[in-house]
Amino acid sequence: MKTLKIAIQKSGRLNEKSVELLKNCGLNFENYKSSLISPVSNFPLEILFLRDDDIPEYVQDGIADLGIVGENVIQETEVEVSYLQRLGFGKCSLKIAVPNNNTIQSLADLNGKAVATTYPVILGKFLKKEGINADIRTISGSVEISPGLGLSDAICDLVSTGGTLKSNGLKPFVDVMSSEAVLIGCKDSEKDDLIQELIQRIQSVLRAKE
Ligand code: PRP
Ligand code: ZN
Ligand code: MG
């Protein structure tokens, strides 16, 4: 018999809520921190624990049938996947932020400035739309420390509680996009019966929470 695969975040903001949602669907599995794949004992499903950034492509390519990931990551990777369900957790926004003592006051002040981010695609589209010509510096993490190190004038990163910005002497400046966790599926396997059953279980867990 066929076994489905669902990809969820291995560690980070979405991990715990993703595991909780699947457990609430009545799925039995071990959530070992060290194993990257966990079989479900009472449903033909395997859970893949991945870096969130890799999830959209795994789903697009059909390596995983389903995935739970932030909308921001889907937009950044520009993949072709089906949006199946908004999940109501992991709410955050992608923002441009500047140092507290900065003279940048309007978007136009970003012209000629360096902005560090792990979201160059989304930021590039946003700046283009706004007619701003800034230098996008793509880095793979710890974006918030880059202004303090003299590597950039501003940053563009996800803000949830705002704690990371605050502890790095930064203040939010402009909202680029808002995001939450969504269930995505591979375009080719959308109509599969097992997938439909899983989606229905997820939707009834969400309805029970309303
Ligand atoms: C985001 C972002 C910040 C942090 C902000 O990381 O990159 O580091 O969360 O949260 P706060 O406003 O509550 O302090 P995320 O958890 O998405 O992990 P990742 O960037 O490693 O994927
Ligand atoms: Zn990530
Ligand atoms: Mg981060």
ipTM: 0.92
Q: Which of 108, 84, 17, 6 is nearest to 49 (CA)?
A: 6
Q: Are residue 128 and residue 166 in the same domain, yes or no?
A: yes
**Which DSSP symbol is given to 183?**
E
For atom 2 of ligand 1, the residue with the nearest CA is 158
Return per-residue pLDDT of the chain as tens, 210 residues.
Answer: 689 999 999 999 999 999 999 999 999 999 877 789 999 999 999 999 999 999 999 999 999 999 999 999 999 999 999 999 999 999 999 999 999 998 899 999 999 999 999 999 999 999 999 999 999 999 999 999 999 999 999 999 999 999 999 999 999 999 999 999 999 999 877 668 999 999 999 999 999 988
Residue 70 CA: nearest ligand 1 atom is 17
Q: Are residue 41 and residue 84 in the same domain, yes or no?
A: yes
- Model confidence pTM above 0.90: yes
| Residue 165 alpha carbon to ligand 1 centre in Å | 10
Domain that holds residue 19: 4-90+180-209
pLDDT at 32: 73
Q: Are residue 56 and residue 105 in the same domain, yes or no?
A: no
Mutation probe of ligand 1 site: the residue of 8, 11, 13, 91 with most atoms within 8 A of C-beta: 13
69 in contact with ligand 1, CB cutoff 6 A: no
Residue 159 CA: nearest ligand 1 atom is 12
5 in contact with ligand 1, CB cutoff 6 A: no
Pairwise CA distance, residues 47 & 74, whole Å: 19
159 in contact with ligand 1, CB cutoff 6 A: yes
Q: Are residue 149 and residue 172 in the same domain, yes or no?
A: yes
| Residue 146 alpha carbon to ligand 1 centre in Å | 15
Ligand nearest to the CA of 55: 2
Q: Are residue 102 and residue 116 in the same domain, yes or no?
A: yes
For atom 6 of ligand 1, the residue with the nearest CA is 158
Buried b (16+ CB within 10 A) or exposed e, 180-210: bbbbbbbeebeeeebbeebbebbeebbeeee
Which domain CATH number covers 131? 3.40.190.10
Q: Are residue 86 and residue 190 in the same domain, yes or no?
A: yes
Q: Are residue 185 and residue 84 in the same domain, yes or no?
A: yes
85 in contact with ligand 1, CB cutoff 6 A: no
pLDDT at 10: 94
Number of domain units in the chain:
2
| Residue 92 alpha carbon to ligand 1 centre in Å | 9
pLDDT at 189: 74
For atom 5 of ligand 1, the residue with the nearest CA is 159
Residue 164 CA: nearest ligand 1 atom is 14
Single-letter code of the amino acid located at 157:
D
